[in-house]
């Protein structure tokens, strides 16, 4: 059983979509296990449905959307700080300016 505040779009997904903002300190149910929420997870963001090793594909909508840049624990926020696109450059505010300086 998975928490009703999370949406799994495809049974192959290893990330879930947050459909109700989760606050740090709350717990969520992932595959029948209670997992603590470590940081605020806003509506529409992704959370790991299981432990995802570094380099593993991130699966959403039943297809890979990128790769984990570090190991991601179940219940952890999945975003540009630990996910990179396999198709397009991933820009972060901190690195975007230096990227354009190199062009």
Neighbours of 93 (CB within 10 A): 7
3 state DSSP class of 95? helix
Q: Helices marked H in 8-85 — which ranges?
A: none
CA–CA dist 13, 10 (Å, integer): 5
Of 48, 37, 95, nearest to 71 by C-alpha is: 48
For the chain, which domains are there?
A: 6-101 (2.30.130.110)
Mean pLDDT for each consecutive 10-residue tract of the chain (103 residues)? 90 96 95 92 96 97 94 95 82 53 54
Q: What is the pLDDT of residue 87?
A: 78
């Amino acid at each position: 059983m998975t928490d009703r505040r999370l949406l799994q779009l495809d049974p192959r997904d290893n990330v879930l979509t947050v459909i109700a903002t989760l606050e740090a300190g709350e717990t969520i149910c992932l595959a029948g296990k209670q997992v603590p929420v470590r940081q605020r997870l806003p509506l529409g963001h992704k959370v790991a449905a299981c432990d995802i090793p570094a380099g593993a594909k991130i699966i959403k909508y039943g297809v890979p959307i990128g790769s984990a840049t570090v190991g991601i624990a179940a219940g952890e926020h999945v975003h540009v700080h630990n996910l990179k696109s396999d198709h397009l450059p991933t820009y972060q505010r901190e690195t975007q300016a230096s990227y354009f300086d190199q062009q």
